[in-house]
Amino acid sequence: MAGSFLKTKDIVLVALFCALTIVLGLIPPIPMPGVPVPITLQTFGVMLAGLILGPARAGFVLLLYVGMAVLGLPVLPGGRAGMAVLAGPTAGFLLGMIPGAMLTGWLAGRLKQQQHVRQTDSHSTGWRIFRFWVACITGGLVLVYAFGIPWMAAVTGMSLSKAFWVMLAFVPGDIAKALVAAVVAERVRRLNLT
């Protein structure tokens, strides 16, 4: 992948998805009462990047995004930026987006490989969307939460179990984002645009 990443198409796609993630992050966050983490659309960008670009390029997208934020560019929800974001309660979620996008992309790639192996099987669109949705849930939700919840608990001083229960309020929205990402990615992959 290292050699193919240098292709112009790959660079353009990484830049495009980084810009998309920035735009999604700049949509005003919705604060949740009693929760130090707001509702944002960043995880939608994580899921889409993973599904459409694959693990390596998606990882580069989120690494670039996090790097821009840490260097001081106001790309995070609410225009936050700088090294201070790594000390806040949302830093674990932010850092978890990198492996989350990669895992989503890897799982989506496994699906694509299985489809090539079974070209004679007639996989329905609904089945492909379901499998993409599972990839999004696994990488874009479970893995990101696995990084974010312990970090939030440590920074805020709440117990790990309380942090887990607090984050359950975000699950329905993230499941819906995963479904939308799966539908969009299935259409884009069918068009072979990436």
pLDDT digit string (tens) for the chain, length 194 residues: 545 545 888 899 999 999 999 998 888 777 777 777 778 888 899 999 999 999 999 999 999 999 999 999 999 887 888 999 899 998 999 999 999 999 999 999 887 666 554 444 445 788 889 999 999 999 999 999 999 999 999 999 999 999 999 899 889 999 999 999 999 998 887 776 55
Tokens representing 77 are 């929800």
We report the CATH number of the domain holding residue 59 as 1.10.1760.20
* Burial category of 14 from C-beta neighbours within 10 Å (exposed 0-12, middle 13-18, buried 19 and up): buried
pTM: 0.86
Number of domains in the chain: 1
Q: Domain residues for 36?
A: 2-191
What gap in Å lies between CA 138 and CA 144, rounded to an integer?
9
